[in-house]
Structure 1
Amino acid sequence: MTLQGNGSPTRAVVLGGGGSVGVAWQTGLLTGLRETGVDLAEAPAIVGTSAGSLVGAMLACGRDVTDALAVLAEVGKKLDFGSLGAGSQSFLDASRQAVFAADPRQALRAIGSAAQEASTTLTEDDYLGLLGTLDGVAWPAGFRCTAIDTGTGELVVWGEESGVPLLHAVAASCVVPMLFPAVTINGNRYMDGGIVNHLNAAAAPPSDVLVVVSCLPLEAPSGAPGSDRSPSTIKADFEVAQLRGKTRLVAVDPDFGDLEAPVKMMDPETAGRAFHIGRRQAEREAAAIQAAWDS
């Protein structure tokens, strides 16, 4: 399938955040789609946030997206999963405050300050080393990824023109506050781009067709967000609803019905199962994506 030709519509792909499970599920989904003949690597624009930035970088570079699983394996060797609960409730409370604030920057600065003061299992250099497969890799054309400046609370979107090393940009986008150390770029420190919105779909360039791959369940258009939902998911739902009126949008979210709820998105054992779930799900999603590309 050819995604871009003379007179054909412009196309973009957004890959959202979702921890280790999100990386594995997206990798399985993209692998399965490619096996059916739908290769999202051909999209002229790919935007990634957090987990999606790692998978998106592999996709945009033309590499086998399963290379992202090797990164997960390295993280699993180094990460203290017993520390995942530390400060999680205060982090969720601050994230929810940021989502519902007219200006989220103050809450994000507070999260950023706490992240910089937190004692993490890894040093910044050790953390960057886990993503060493991207070290020295040229920034792929059309790829963008997001992060949040810990000092200002501003969302930043890096692209080829930004002059930022791909390794540092992707690592910064994946920094779960209080778990991984913030990443230093040009004297500023950055953290996970998905704290307020795990998709950041609006960071994609204007396009006729937009495929949004969400690692977290999206609310049905007629449903009301539940109080137990991730703060970043509430924001993402609103953003997707707005974009539906501006572009032909295909949204894919995970079918985690076979996993015990609530899904532990940083659990490496769950990630292994999520890959196969994504690969099987691709068979059901391929037709809708194909139809959108060909419209």
Structure 2
Amino acid sequence: MTRSIGLVLSGGGARGAYEVGALLWVAEHLPDLLPRIRVITGTSVGAVNAAYLASRGLTPDSIFDLASIWRGLVIDELVGIDRAGLKDLLAAGTKRLIGRQVKSPAVGLLRVDGIARLVAENADWRGLRKVVMRGRFDAVGFAATDIATGRTHFFVDHASRITPRWGRGDDAPVPIRANLGPAHVLASAAIPLLFPPVEVGGRWYMDGGVRYNTPLGPALGMGADALFIVSVRAVEEAQLSAPTGEFSGFGQIVGKVLDSVFLDRIGFDLDRLERINDMISAIGHAGGEALVEGVRGSLAALGRPRYRHVGVAHVRPRSDLGALAATHLVEAQAHRPFGFARVLRALFQDDAGTTGDGASFLLFDGGYADTLIEAGRRDAEQRKAELAAL
């Protein structure tokens, strides 16, 4: 039986171009895999990519077009310091200091009207509803963090009339049926403090990566039997560096805060998934398929999922995307005027120009995007056996 594949795209700001590169390799070398992707979930920039691709049917051409959009980005057209927002924040803070009650302005430190316009104008929002209703996809969904409760809300358009459920406890995402639109994507991608929060249905949201950066569970809960995951953090980024005795500076603190926003629990989730796969295999070897079905029936009677073996292909960076951002900033400044990117370099790089964690999340520039697209393409090729086995 042909397995239904879930495409899971993680959050990571400007690092999202890497996801497009991984998909680009699939479009070029394994295009028959794309029609088997029946569920798409995403967080933050993963939601941005997911919305565009799902709305256009996840065809090879849609991936090629999305890569062109990323390569054409001009940072100063998308992101900048929100001076008016800063003024409003300072004014509100001052009034509170003297005891006045004022409403907090829903602003961030950065203006992102260019990003909002890009999201609204490029995805085919009517098409997104149609591809679900007409059966191209079983479900499409985006994770966002509800500011009032801190819970993850998962906006989902599902082919079934029944709202899907998955997981238990306070950590489980809350499913919310929705006709997905730009507001849901922008809510998923509202990086705390930097980007303004977004109101959806009378509630205020910030970036879904705060609690749920790589939404595996919803993809499985909405029917996927196998997972194609693209995340944007390299294993090497977590390794310890040699102590220097020097303070790295405020920019490095901000960079690590951003890094923590997109801190991924995917290692834990994949380990648990592997344990379930091993358990199902062991039960099958011990008592055959009849015993496996008996265990599944008992679990279902207890209100648990009917666990199944889930194939996984996970593409993630083999190189440090922060270091690539630092290199790009140095090279770009040497060749052309670079307004907001100059701010990024001043904030996030040390004297040696070797660190760029924070910059890598905000460097929405076509040159950097092209570097990440090629990195994603190379890393997907390294996972071609896993991808072909889905």
Structure-1-length-normalised TM-score: 0.72
Structure with higher RCO (Cα < 8 A, 6+ apart): 1
- The match for 1:95 is none
The Cα offsets for residues 184-243 of structure 1, whole Å up to 9 and x where unpaired, read as 1111121211113321222212443222211112589xxx98697943435232122212
- The match for 2:380 is 282
The one-letter code sitting in structure 1 at the alignment partner of 2:145 is: I
- Measured at CA, do residues 242 and 120 of structure 1 come closer, stay the same or move farther in structure 2, by a change above 3 Å? same
The one-letter code sitting in structure 2 at the alignment partner of 1:130 is: L
- Measured at CA, do residues 76 and 173 of structure 1 come closer, stay the same or move farther in structure 2, by a change above 3 Å? farther
The one-letter code sitting in structure 2 at the alignment partner of 1:27 is: V
Helix, strand or coil: the match of 2:314?
A: strand
Between 210-219 and 282-291, the greater mean CA deviation after superposition: 210-219
The partner residue of 1:178 within 193, 201, 216 is: 193
- Residues of 2 paired with 1:157 and 1:193: CA distance? 9
Among all aligned residue pairs of Structure 1 and Structure 2, give the percentage whose two residues are the same amino acid: 24
Is the 1:24–1:272 contact (alpha carbons within 8 Å) kept by the matching residues of 2?
Answer: yes
- The match for 1:20 is 14
The partner residue of 1:265 within 349, 352, 361 is: 361
- Residues of 2 paired with 1:204 and 1:42: CA distance? 14
Helix, strand or coil: the match of 1:44?
A: strand
Q: Report the alpha carbon displacement of residue 144 of structure 1 after superposing the two structures with TM.
A: 1.1
- The match for 2:36 is 42
Helix, strand or coil: the match of 2:210?
A: coil
Match status 1:251 vs 2:248: no
The Cα offsets for residues 145-191 of structure 1, whole Å up to 9 and x where unpaired, read as 11111222110111115234322211211111222222211111212
Helix, strand or coil: the match of 1:73?
A: coil
Larger radius of gyration: 2
Q: Report the alpha carbon displacement of residue 49 of structure 1 after superposing the two structures with TM.
A: 0.8
Q: Report the alpha carbon displacement of residue 82 of structure 1 after superposing the two structures with TM.
A: 10
The partner residue of 1:65 within 63, 69, 72 is: 63
- Residues of 2 paired with 1:117 and 1:171: CA distance? 13
Q: Report the alpha carbon displacement of residue 275 of structure 1 after superposing the two structures with TM.
A: 1.1
- Measured at CA, do residues 189 and 25 of structure 1 come closer, stay the same or move farther in structure 2, by a change above 3 Å? same
- The match for 1:134 is 123
- Residues of 2 paired with 1:78 and 1:117: CA distance? 16
Is the 1:147–1:156 contact (alpha carbons within 8 Å) kept by the matching residues of 2?
Answer: yes
- Residues of 2 paired with 1:115 and 1:50: CA distance? 22
Between 281-290 and 67-76, the greater mean CA deviation after superposition: 67-76
The partner residue of 2:227 within 207, 210, 228 is: 210
The partner residue of 2:184 within 169, 172, 176 is: 169
Helix, strand or coil: the match of 2:217?
A: helix
The one-letter code sitting in structure 1 at the alignment partner of 2:314 is: A
- Structure 2: which 5+ residue stretches go unaligned? 87-102, 133-138, 159-176, 242-255, 277-309, 328-354
Helix, strand or coil: the match of 1:273?
A: helix
Helix, strand or coil: the match of 1:265?
A: helix
The one-letter code sitting in structure 1 at the alignment partner of 2:371 is: R
Q: Which runs of 4+ in 1 moved over 6 A?
A: 224-229
- Residues of 2 paired with 1:43 and 1:169: CA distance? 22
- The match for 1:107 is none
- Measured at CA, do residues 286 and 181 of structure 1 come closer, stay the same or move farther in structure 2, by a change above 3 Å? same
Is the 1:115–1:178 contact (alpha carbons within 8 Å) kept by the matching residues of 2?
Answer: no
- Measured at CA, do residues 278 and 8 of structure 1 come closer, stay the same or move farther in structure 2, by a change above 3 Å? same
- The match for 2:157 is 160
RMSD (Å) for aligned C-alpha atoms: 3.3
The one-letter code sitting in structure 1 at the alignment partner of 2:80 is: D
- Residues of 2 paired with 1:150 and 1:157: CA distance? 14
- Measured at CA, do residues 44 and 115 of structure 1 come closer, stay the same or move farther in structure 2, by a change above 3 Å? farther
- Residues of 2 paired with 1:185 and 1:118: CA distance? 17
Helix, strand or coil: the match of 2:265?
A: helix
